[in-house]
Amino acid sequence: MRIQELLKGKGSDVVTLTSDATIGDLVQTLADHGIGAVVVTDGDAIAGIISERDVVRALVGGADGLLEKPVEELMTSQVITCSPGDEVSSLAASMTEHRFRHLPVVRGDELVGIVSIGDIVKFRLEELQSERDQLESYITG
């Protein structure tokens, strides 16, 4: 299965913030949308990605003034992306190997979606259930 098919099922909405948004804005956005990461954009271009993990790691150094800092101070600016035509299985392996949970989907320079490791696990569970049902049906005739 390809990422474009996964996006058809889950939707292609992507929550974004600009790099000058504050960590406070980020935390509120994460809570409002019930998500774990936000793509940071400058205009139409992806400038970075920032997750709840980034915020937690920053708290280790102390929370003083953290909520007022711009997201660009904590975001990952070297963003790994995928395309709609990529295979879900290869991305699952890459996400596991590189230890990231959110992957923006781009077509050319356009941000067209985002997938999480949770989306991929859900897809895989549904795929396994379908295979199980088919085998059971074949066996029982």
What pLDDT score does 33 carry?
A: 96
What pLDDT score does 72 carry?
A: 95
Work out the pLDDT band at 123, boundaries 50, 70, 90: confident
**pLDDT, mean of residues 36-60:** 94
Can you name the residues that pair with 115 across neighbouring β-strands?
Answer: 103
Work out the pLDDT band at 92, boundaries 50, 70, 90: confident
Is the pLDDT confidence value at 23 over 90?
yes
What pLDDT score does 44 carry?
A: 83
Indicate the average pLDDT of the chain: 92
Is the pLDDT confidence value at 46 over 90?
yes
Is the pLDDT confidence value at 141 over 80?
no
What pLDDT score does 115 carry?
A: 95
**pLDDT, mean of residues 33-52:** 95
What pLDDT score does 109 carry?
A: 86
Instruction: Give the rounded distance of the alpha carbon of 141 from its chain centre.
Output: 41
Is the pLDDT confidence value at 137 over 90?
no
CB under 8 Å to 36, separation ≥6 — which residues? Answer: 30, 51, 52, 53, 101, 102, 116
* Contact yes or no for 30/24 (Cβ under 8 A): no
What domains are there in the chain, each with its CATH number?
3-140 (3.10.580.10)
Integer angstrom CA distances of residue 8 from 26, 27, 77:
27, 28, 28
Quick one: three-class SS letters along the chain? CEHHHHHHHHCCCCCEEECCCEHHHHHHHHHHHCCCEEEEEECCEEEEEEEHHHHHHHHCCCCCCHHHCEHHHCCECCCCCECCCCEHHHHHHHHHHHCCCEEEEEECCEEEEEEEHHHHHHHHHHHHHHHHHHHHHHHHC
